A and B are shown apart, each in its own frame.
Chain A
């Protein structure tokens, strides 16, 4: 049997695939341990506490300066979004601009499956 020609780039691609699969497998195995999950969750808890502390501290400074906090800006954003939603709902209810033109009636609901689809042969 003839040997396949030497293909350095093909070998490099194979190596890349093997590296990807190996690292994915290693990572999954590592992450499956209780210890790594505990460490990751500890890091997340620490980060959350830091984030909460920063938010509270910034809120105090901004309040002292008479400036809105992120929560204030988000609250305004929410109200604007609620107004947009209302306008969109009204637009759908009254104007119905996106509806297909009346000149284009919907097709009849009379389609039947082709004869070759009427038996149970899905897999």
Chain B
């Protein structure tokens, strides 16, 4: 095979050029259909609505296995994001995977709080919505206990609940990438600096915190990624799998929920300014939040390259929880790829199945 003086192989170059011409044609053709097609539908695994109250939505997924584990599992979603990240598409759905593994799955998801619900606080989520959902799960399943599984802020609320309700019939507690030391959410911590951030002015003026502000604050963690993502989308427009995955994740990332005003005020003052959760000084609905009182088996799963909840922000959680049987798994990946996408399919999902299945009988 002859090579030019520049180290170029003419045959390889010709093949590469032909491939690129093909891709350019496909980009043009598929780009048009991309523009014309509707956004992908997610969260399609069949489920039944069990309860709707305020922003709370409790769903039960229809089992997909002929035989299920005794203990039902209640997923608690983060308050800023939609639960369909856990149910993207057939074959890429954490929910579908868990159902096929034989878990009886419930989802505590959130809707946008209405303007008149601006007064909702963490207390309402921890001492009202989660216990209410648990009671309903127990009634619906007919079982005496339930496993709680929370993602991000959903994990935080789950730990707060378990730490303030030690009498709750909790079989297992699983948290994904759950922040407890808010000093290490460094950019958010800086943005909400007590010296310059007027949280009272913001909440008193806006009421609920609009989703655009939530999305913007997440985007500011990686401001170039959205622009680079658009360029990469064009570059990979010929690749149907890439385009489908991009659209699903992009839609989810921009589909933030507003936060109830008082919940936000409390988050800033209690968690970012005082770090009360880590210090053990947090009191919700008159109950002290003490993760040391948690006795159920506990698993924390965190991601090595999490830019939203870095390892340092979630690391103390394992020590804080009082359970005798507790474990932490640190997996490769980021905040979202921990729970969804090809990495999650290979890493987190089987690890969780292995841990939870033998504690669900």
Contacts and interface: CB of A to CB of B under 8 A. Distances in A.
Interface stretch (B26-34, B35-43, B44-52, B161-169): B44-52
A113 interface: yes
Contacts, number: 149
A112 B70 CA distance: 9
Contact of B63 (A32, A38, A106): A106
A85 B49 CA distance: 13
A25 B82 CA distance: 28
Interface in A29-59: 31-34, 37-38, 40-42, 44-45, 48, 51-52
A17 to B, nearest CB: 8
* 4 closest A-B pairs by CB: A23-B224, A20-B228, A113-B357, A41-B196
A41 B13 CA distance: 53
25 contacts: A5-B7, A5-B9, A6-B7, A16-B231, A19-B228, A31-B220, A34-B193, A34-B195, A37-B193, A38-B193, A38-B195, A41-B197, A44-B202, A48-B198, A78-B116, A81-B114, A85-B54, A92-B49, A98-B49, A109-B69, A110-B70, A111-B70, A117-B354, A118-B358, A122-B351
Contacts of B327: 120, 122
B67 interface: yes
B223 A23 contact: yes
Report the interface size class on chain B.
35 or more
Given A21-B224, A92-B51, 17 more contacts: A5-B9, A9-B16, A22-B224, A23-B223, A24-B225, A37-B196, A41-B193, A41-B196, A45-B201, A48-B201, A85-B53, A92-B49, A100-B62, A109-B68, A110-B70, A118-B358, A123-B330
Report the interface size class on chain A.
35 or more
A7 to B, nearest CB: 7
A55 to B, nearest CB: 9
A5 B8 contact: yes
A107 B63 contact: yes
Given A16-B232, A31-B191, A98-B48, A107 B351 contact: no
Which among A42, A106, A109 has the greatest number of chain B C-beta atoms within 10 A?
A109
Contacts of A120: 327
A99 B48 contact: yes
Contacts of B330: 123
B143 A109 contact: yes
Given A117-B358, A123-B329, A16 B228 contact: yes
Nearest to B229: A20
A103 interface: no
Nearest to A89: B52
A7 B20 CA distance: 11
A107 B53 contact: no
B174 to A, nearest CB: 11
B231 A85 contact: no
